[in-house]
C-alpha cells in the first residue's frame, strides 16, 4: 500500500516537472517572439572614475517593453562609451563639430523610445548635423550625480555646452540627509556653512543570479513587466514617471517667480551650491537647465502657473550665476498641445515619446542658437 502511494507521488512529481518544463519553454518562446518581455541593459561602475553607466562589453542591444502586456517594445542600444545612444562617442581629436553634452534621468536615458528618436538624435537632426550631442542619462539620477558625471564628461570630451534636464526632486535627492537613493551614486552633505561631496560608498556589480536571470525572458517579464521582486536579484529598469497633468490651481502653494516659496527656500542653499559648482568647474562653458514639469496647462492658466519648489530653487540659483541659464518646458509643452493636440507620453503614460523628445530638442536648438551658445543655425523641421 505504501509503495503504491510512493509510486503515485513520484508520478505526480514527474508530471509537475514535465508541465513546468513545458510551460517554461513555451513562456520563453512566447516572451521572445509574440509578446517580448522587457530586457534591461547591464550596468557597471569603473573604480577609477566611480561613474555608473552601461556595460559595452555586455549585450549591446535588446528590447524594452512596458507593463504586463509588454506594450510598445522598442530596441535599445549601448554605444561604445556605455550610454544609450544611436551614436558612438569620440574623444579628443575625434570631435569635428561643436559638442552639446546632455544630462538627465530616465527622460534622457530613453528606454521607451528608439535611440534614433532620443533628444540627442533629434537635436543633431534639427541642427542638420552641424553639432554633435552626447547624451548621459540614467534612470533615477539627480543634480549632484549630474555634477559628478559632467566633470567626467568634460575631462573626456570637452563639450562646448552643458545641458541638464531637471525635475522637482533633483535638489532634494542630491542631499544625503534626505536619504541615500543608491550607495553607488554621488551625493552632498552639510559641511559647515556649505556642502561637501559624498562619493559612492560601494561599486555597482551585477550578481551572478542577476546575470543568469537576465538570459531568461520569463524572469525578465516577472521582474520588469510584472514588477515581481525576486530575492537576490537587483537592478533598475525605468523609474516611475512623475504626474505631469497638474494644473495651475493644483500648484497654488508654490511661490511667485522671483520670490521663492518657503519650500523652495529650504532647497535654495543646496541648489546654489550645486549650480555654482557646475559653473566653477566648467569656466566659460554655458550651463543650461531645462525644467521638466506639467505638460497640459491650459493657455489661459500659464501666466498663473507656479514652479514646484525644487525647480524654483534651481531657477533662483541660476539668477546669481551669469554663466547658467534656465528654460521652463511647461509653456513649451502647453502651447504645443493647444496647437497640435498630439500627446507627449510613451507607453508608460509618463516619459516622453518621440514627439516629446523632438519638441524638447527643438526648444533646446532654438535656445542655443538665439543665445549664440553654438554657431550653427537651427532648422525648422
Domain residue spans of the chain: 85-202+239-370
- Could you give the CA distance from residue 163 to residue 374 in angstroms, rounded to a whole number? 13
Higher pLDDT, 13 or 45: 45
Whether the per-residue pLDDT at 266 is higher than 70: the answer is: yes
Question: What is the distance, to the nearest Å, from the Cα of residue 220 to the centroid of all Cα atoms in its chain?
Answer: 20
- Burial (CB < 10 A; 0-12, 13-18, 19+), residue 65, is buried
List the single range of 91-95, 311-315, 316-320 with lowest mean pLDDT.
91-95
Quote the pLDDT of residue 233: 61
Burial code (b: 16+ CB inside 10 Å, e: under 16) for 152-188 equals ebeebbebbbbbbbbbbbbbbbbbbeeeebbebbbbb
pLDDT exceeds cutoff 70 at 167: yes
Residue 254, C-beta contacts closer than 8 angstroms, at least 6 positions apart: 261, 263, 264, 306, 307, 308, 309, 312
Question: Tell me, what's the pLDDT at 256?
Answer: 41
DSSP annotation string for 235-262: ---PPPPPP----TGGGTTSPPTTS--H
Distance CA 127, CA 120 (A): 11
Arithmetic mean of pLDDT, 201-220? 79
Q: Phi/psi of residue 39, each to 5°?
A: -105, 140
Q: Which three cell numbers stand for residue 354?
A: 518621440
Handedness of CA 11, 15, 16, 21 (dihedral sign): positive
Contact status, residue 352 vs residue 363, Cβ threshold 8 Å: no
Residue 206: is its pLDDT beyond 80?
Answer: no
* Fold category of 85-202+239-370 in CATH: Rossmann fold (3.40.50)
* pLDDT confidence of residue 178: 77
Tell me what pLDDT residue 121 has. Answer: 98
pLDDT score of 360: 98
Query: By the 8 A CB rule, do 172 and 312 touch?
Result: no
**185 DSSP 8-state letter:** S
Are the beta carbons of 296 and 333 closer than 8 angstroms? yes
User: What residues contact residue 155 under an 8 Å CB cut-off, 6+ apart?
Assistant: none
Compute the mean pLDDT over every residue in the chain, rounded to the nearest whole number.
Answer: 87
Contacts of the segment 61-65: beta carbons below 8 A, 24+ positions apart: 63/36, 63/37, 63/38, 63/39, 64/38, 64/39, 64/40, 64/111, 64/112, 64/237, 64/238, 65/35, 65/36, 65/37, 65/38, 65/225, 65/347
Asked which of 131-145, 205-219, 358-372 is least confident by mean pLDDT, the reply is 205-219
Eight-class DSSP state of 117: G
HSE toward the beta carbon, residue 335, CA cutoff 13 A? 10
Does 290 have pLDDT greater than 80?
A: yes
pLDDT per residue over 171-203, tens digit each? 999 999 876 678 999 999 999 999 999 999 999
| Arithmetic mean of pLDDT, 39-61 | 92
* Structure confidence at residue 253 as a pLDDT band (50, 70, 90): very low
Task: State yes or no: pLDDT of 9 exceeds 80.
Answer: no
CB atoms within 10 A of CB 29: 11
How many C-beta atoms lie closer than 10 Å to residue 350's C-beta? Answer: 19
Q: Could you give the angle at which helices 309-318 and 262-281 cross, rounded to 10 degrees?
A: 50
Model pLDDT for residues 336-358, shown as the tens digit of each residue: 999 999 999 999 999 999 999 99
Is the predicted pLDDT of residue 73 greater than 50, yes or no?
A: yes
Cβ atoms within 10 Å of 36's Cβ, excluding its own = 21
The whole-number average pLDDT for the span 247-268 is 57
Q: DSSP secondary-structure letter at 170?
A: H
Assign 92 a pLDDT band (cuts: 50, 70, 90): low
More confident residue, 365 or 232: 365
Q: Look up cell 529598469; give the residue.
A: 237
Amino acid at each position: 500500500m505504501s509503495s503504491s502511494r510512493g509510486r503515485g507521488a513520484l508520478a505526480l512529481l514527474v508530471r509537475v516537472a514535465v508541465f513546468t518544463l513545458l510551460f517554461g519553454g513555451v513562456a520563453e518562446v512566447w516572451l521572445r517572439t509574440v509578446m517580448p518581455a522587457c530586457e534591461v541593459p547591464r550596468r557597471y561602475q569603473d573604480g577609477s572614475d566611480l561613474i555608473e553607466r552601461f556595460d559595452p562589453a555586455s549585450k549591446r542591444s535588446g528590447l524594452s517593453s512596458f507593463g504586463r502586456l509588454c506594450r510598445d517594445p522598442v530596441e535599445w542600444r549601448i554605444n561604445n562609451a556605455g550610454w544609450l545612444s544611436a551614436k558612438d562617442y569620440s574623444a579628443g581629436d575625434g570631435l569635428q563639430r561643436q559638442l552639446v553634452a546632455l544630462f538627465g534621468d530616465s527622460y534622457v536615458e530613453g528606454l521607451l523610445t528608439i535611440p534614433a528618436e532620443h533628444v540627442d538624435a533629434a537635436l543633431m537632426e534639427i541642427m542638420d548635423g552641424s553639432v554633435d550631442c552626447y547624451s548621459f542619462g540614467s534612470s533615477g539620477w539627480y543634480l549632484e550625480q549630474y555634477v559628478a558625471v559632467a566633470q567626467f564628461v568634460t575631462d573626456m570630451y570637452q563639450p562646448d555646452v552643458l545641458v541638464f534636464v531637471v525635475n522637482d526632486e533633483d535638489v532634494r535627492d542630491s542631499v544625503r540627509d534626505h536619504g541615500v537613493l543608491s550607495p553607488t551614486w554621488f551625493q552632498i552633505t552639510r559641511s559647515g556653512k556649505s556642502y561637501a561631496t559624498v562619493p559612492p560608498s560601494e561599486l555597482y556589480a551585477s550578481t551572478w543570479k542577476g546575470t543568469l536571470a537576465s538570459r531568461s525572458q520569463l524572469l525578465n517579464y516577472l521582474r520588469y513587466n510584472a514588477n515581481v521582486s525576486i530575492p537576490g536579484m537587483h537592478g533598475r529598469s525605468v523609474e516611475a514617471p512623475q504626474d505631469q497633468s497638474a494644473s495651475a490651481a493644483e500648484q497654488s502653494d508654490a511661490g511667485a517667480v522671483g520670490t521663492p516659496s518657503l519650500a523652495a527656500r529650504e532647497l535654495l542653499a543646496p541648489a546654489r551650491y550645486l549650480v555654482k559648482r557646475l559653473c566653477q568647474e566648467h569656466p566659460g562653458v554655458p550651463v543650461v537647465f531645462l525644467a521638466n514639469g506639467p505638460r497640459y496647462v491650459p493657455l489661459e492658466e500659464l501666466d498663473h502657473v507656479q514652479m514646484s519648489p525644487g525647480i524654483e530653487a534651481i531657477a533662483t540659483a541660476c539668477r546669481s550665476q551669469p554663466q547658467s541659464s534656465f528654460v521652463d518646458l511647461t509653456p513649451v509643452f502647453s502651447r504645443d498641445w493647444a496647437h497640435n493636440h498630439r500627446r507627449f507620453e510613451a507607453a508608460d503614460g509618463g516619459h516622453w515619446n518621440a514627439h516629446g523628445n523632438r519638441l524638447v530638442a527643438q526648444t533646446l536648438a532654438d535656445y542655443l542658437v538665439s543665445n549664440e551658445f553654438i554657431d550653427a543655425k537651427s532648422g525648422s523641421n
